[in-house]
Chain A
Amino acid sequence: MERKNLGLGLLFISPWIIGFLAFLAYPIWYTVELSFTRYGGFGVPEQIGLDNYRRMFDDGLFWTSVWNTVYYTSLAVPIGVVVAMVLALAMNQQLPEIPIYRAILFLPSVLPLFAVSFIFLTLLDPNQGIVNEFLRRFGLNPPNWFGDPDFAKIGVVAIAQFGAGQIALVFLAGLKGIPQHLYEAAMLDGAGAIRRFFSVTLPLLTPIILYDIILGISLGLQVFTQSYIITQGGPAQSTTFYVYYLYNNAFRYGGQMGYASAMAVVLFVVTFIIAGLVFITSKRWVHYDLS
């Protein structure tokens, strides 16, 4: 019976097995292989051992891209968690017209990043953009946004918040799952609204916060489209993010596919190490039980 089930089960999941081997496992293996070669996409890759990995240490632009990506991710992830939670709390209000607010806050997250990038390029234009026009009308000195190395990354962080509605819905589902009697008990103990948030709401949302942090780090390390469309890595290489530099090595600078593969291997390993570390530390601050 069980043997028969094994065959049947494997039969049903066989498309996944084929896809996993062909489009994931083999490409990862092949990336590792290519990372030990000099390769331009034509002919036979030339074996050069660890040279690509050694090269990273002396490559200033590589470290710039690492710094930019770490900077962006460590800014975008915490801001993203707070924004998503604020949106979820707002969407959780008892008002008859709440579906309208919810639709407005969620809709931007289904829009394509390439189009949103173009919109923010015009929105945050130093002279013609509406944001700076508002700031000027309030007598403020507006920043140059994507033209200023200090503000370009902040602009990219802002773009990420525009798409926060999707994760906010996950938080909202979490909020709705919190049993009402916990709030009633806290109120009987004399806890005010702020106290109730920190002692009931926040602890019960920690599994979602963990999910958001891991997802956010993974997406943060992959940031690409915004630099490709808005800044082309500038100004002064302030938005040359890791994947943008990887892409340039692979497809723009000739003959660097081996080096790009080595960068890909490093990204893969680092993503899993960071996700693993977050997951391990999460045991200290994530509450899974409802009691």
Chain B
Amino acid sequence: MATTTPEIKEEQYVRPRRAAKDKYIRIGSQKVVPRIILVLMCAGFVLPFYWMVTLGLKSNEELSIYPPTLYPNNPIWSNIKDATEAFPFWRFAWNTTVITVLTIVGSVISNPIIAYGFSRIEWPGRDKVFMVVLATVFVPFPVLIVALFDIFAQLNWINTYWPLVVPLFFGQAFWIFLMRQFLMQIPKDLSDAARIDGANEFQIFWQIIMPQTLPAIGAIAIFAGVSAWNDFLGPLIYLQDSSMYTLSIGLTFFQQQDSYDVQYNLLMAASALIVLPLIVMFLLFQKSFIEGISVGSIK
């Protein structure tokens, strides 16, 4: 008895220790290691934001110190105000907002109507025509810039917002696709029941189907708004008078003024102001952003 007892005791002692070891390995491989990797990745993705804010708050003197300081020793908050005065920031912000709002309006009106025709009505040749819609996604926009510029010049549309906005009222292939994916998930019976009740197609579209698609319309509004706010090549080509410029073109003012002495602190402060509404929108509508991309991706 006296000799066996320690053995039993040892066995009782070892078992939980081994279990504990296994548990540590499991926690390590499932919780700790992924966390370390994720935090490092996120650090890499946050770094450009961090540097934008840091430079944006540095004084002119601190900006030229070598080696560079890794955070603003003496943050100059007035840089934000100075950045809006170094170029016509509010004028350009207003211009960009006008284009963005018109783009959203055009996209929200046109894409649901078109997508409805490609999903809720059965007509001969529909799916073949839809293949054409999909194929147009792959036409690179730069292919069209020379011809579009010349066509819009003949219409006297250069230096107006029409070339940037009007095409959006006629649908965008990718958003038609996104909306169609969404509409096809709504049961057919819903339309059929309304037809039996004597509703015509426009009533079904407007009263029955549209109220169901608000999440998808929201996603289109967000994507359309973001793409208009972020557009660079379009405004660069079509807008020539500086009073018409968007923020994207306006930001290049910093380089053009004096290429050897770009005020990077003000440039970064202005960039932060341009990016800020996007970050706010993203935080508010994160779900729509993510669902919009995921809906478009499945199959």
Contact = CB atoms under 8 A, between A and B. Distances in A.
Interface string B47-66: 11111101100000001101
Interface stretch (B6-14, B74-82, B83-91, B116-124): B116-124
Interface residues of A, number: 90
B162 to A, nearest CB: 12
Contacts of B271: 115, 118-119
A134 B88 CA distance: 36
B292 to A, nearest CB: 10
Given A107-B282, A111-B230, A169-B290, A271 B140 contact: yes
Contacts, number: 261
Interface stretch (B17-25, B35-43, B211-219): B35-43
A105 B274 contact: no
Contacts of B290: 102, 106, 169
Nearest to B237: A251
Given A110-B278, A111-B275, A119 B150 contact: no
B2 interface: no
A219 to B, nearest CB: 8
B217 to A, nearest CB: 16
A225 interface: yes
Given A95-B35, A133-B70, A272 B268 contact: no
Interface residues of B, number: 94
Interface in B127-166: 129, 132-133, 136, 138-151, 153
Contacts of A157: none
A108 interface: yes
B251 A23 contact: no
Interface in A193-215: 207-208, 211, 214
A10 interface: yes
Given A24-B139, A118-B267, A90 B201 contact: no
7 contacts: A9-B121, A23-B144, A112-B248, A113-B230, A118-B251, A169-B297, A229-B252
Interface of A: 2, 5-6, 8-13, 15-16, 18-20, 22-24, 26-28, 30-31, 34, 41, 87, 90, 93-95, 101-108, 110-116, 118-120, 122-123, 127-130, 133, 136, 162, 165-166, 169-170, 172-174, 177, 207-208, 211, 214, 218, 221-222, 224-225, 228-229, 243, 246-247, 250-251, 257, 260-261, 264-265, 267-268, 271-272, 275
The 4 A-B pairs at the shortest CB distance, nearest first, are namely A19-B170, A12-B117, A9-B123, A112-B230
